[in-house]
Amino acid sequence: MTVQQHQGIKEIHALGREITENISRVIVGKSSALELLLCALLAEGHVLLDDVPGVGKTLLARSLAKSLGGTFKRVQFTPDLLPADITGFNVYDRQDGSFKYQAGPVMTNVLLADEINRAIPRTQSSLLESMEERQVTVDGLTMPLPHPFIVIATQNPVELEGTFPLPEAQLDRFLLRLQLGYPSFAEELSILERFQRGDPLAALSPVAEPARIMALQQARREVLVAEPVKEYIVSLVGATRGHPALRFGASPRASLHLMRAAQALAALQGRHYVLPDDVKRLAAPVLAHRLLLEAKEMARGLTATEVLQELLARVAVPAPPEREW
């Protein structure tokens, strides 16, 4: 490993601490969710926050955006939202007789797609090109998005009336899915004390800048993924495709996302190499939302996470080497 690569890992480790400490001034607890959110950012992926209302999903996204020092846009998804309301549209300029692009909210560093499952499928799919290719096309004109670019989408899994479930093609674009969960008794007391006299988000200052994030995203790519670890990832993802409880398993994109997220997790923990334990920890957040259960298995209450736990226990883990990978 070169000196430059070693320095890059040190900077990622330091950045993770800085952002986590900064966001923790607003968000109480949720250290595991924060680490996974940073994994998605460094792996150049997107996040689906799937949880009940009121647990801090929007607040977490806004806190991350302020910490990064980039631009932030929020779109409240509703049934009457149109694709142009996200991607932008061309406006006719009478003075010079030409059309000019009016940027939509997707032209930002952090896009919060709030309650994404309330929009019609046509509007939901308008995000596909932006999420995968980091660009937007309007009337045949293609424009690159700002860098870095991350979509944080939220949805309420309980209130289903008037919602449109995300299609598998779009779910596959999200690097990971997170659930924040309810706070503990002590954490909820701390929330009341912290927000009693004001909003700590208003006082939050950036601890990074987009250029630094881009440099560290590049440094993440240099984290070593040894051949046995790659084989473990492929074996684990491949095992989902033949499981009798699943109609569809995870795609090769899932393998790529799992590898990139594991690189990010290793770097955030100060390592220049990925361990099988990194893969095991990330398996459920990265893979569960990509698996489609058979109807009869859903009826008896089986979950994709339970299937993954079974596969993690069954798929052979590579033996530790005599020296570090």
- Does residue 315 register a pLDDT over 90? yes
Q: What is the arithmetic mean of pLDDT over 29-36?
A: 89
C-alpha separations of 45 from 42, 295, 308 in Å: 8, 30, 21
Higher pLDDT, 126 or 234: 234
Q: Give the pLDDT of residue 169.
A: 79
- Does residue 317 register a pLDDT over 80? yes
The structure tokens listed for 124 are 């939901």
- Does residue 65 register a pLDDT over 80? yes
Q: How confident is the model at residue 123 (pLDDT cuts 50, 70, 90)?
A: confident
Q: Give the pLDDT of residue 324.
A: 55
Residue-range domain boundaries for the chain: 3-221, 223-325
pTM for this predicted structure: 0.89
State how far the Cα of 290 lies from the Cα of 315, in Å rounded to an integer: 19
Alpha helices in 105-243 (DSSP H): 121-125, 128-133, 168-171, 185-194, 210-220, 227-240
Q: Give the pLDDT of residue 162.
A: 62
Q: Give the pLDDT of residue 321.
A: 59
Q: Give the pLDDT of residue 285.
A: 96
Mean pLDDT of the chain: 88
Q: Could you check whether 3-221 and 223-325 share the same CATH topology?
A: no
Q: What is the arithmetic mean of pLDDT over 279-302?
A: 91
Q: Give the pLDDT of residue 1.
A: 63
Low-confidence winner among 4-8, 153-157, 240-244 (lowest mean pLDDT): 4-8
- Does residue 322 register a pLDDT over 60? no
C-alpha separations of 313 from 258, 292, 317 in Å: 18, 20, 9
Q: What is the arithmetic mean of pLDDT over 107-136?
A: 87
- Does residue 97 register a pLDDT over 80? no
Q: Are 174 and 155 in contact (CB under 8 A)?
A: no
Q: Does CATH place domain 223-325 in 3.40.50.300?
A: no
Pairing of strands 292-293, 98-103: unpaired
C-alpha separations of 166 from 86, 156, 254, 286 in Å: 17, 12, 17, 16
Q: Does CATH place domain 3-221 in 3.40.50.300?
A: yes
- Does residue 273 register a pLDDT over 80? yes
- Does residue 264 register a pLDDT over 80? yes
Q: Give the pLDDT of residue 242.
A: 86
Q: Are 27 and 238 in contact (CB under 8 A)?
A: no
- Does residue 195 register a pLDDT over 70? yes
Q: Give the pLDDT of residue 277.
A: 94
Q: Give the pLDDT of residue 44.
A: 94
C-alpha separations of 83 from 19, 107, 297 in Å: 33, 14, 35
Q: How confident is the model at residue 189 (pLDDT cuts 50, 70, 90)?
A: very high
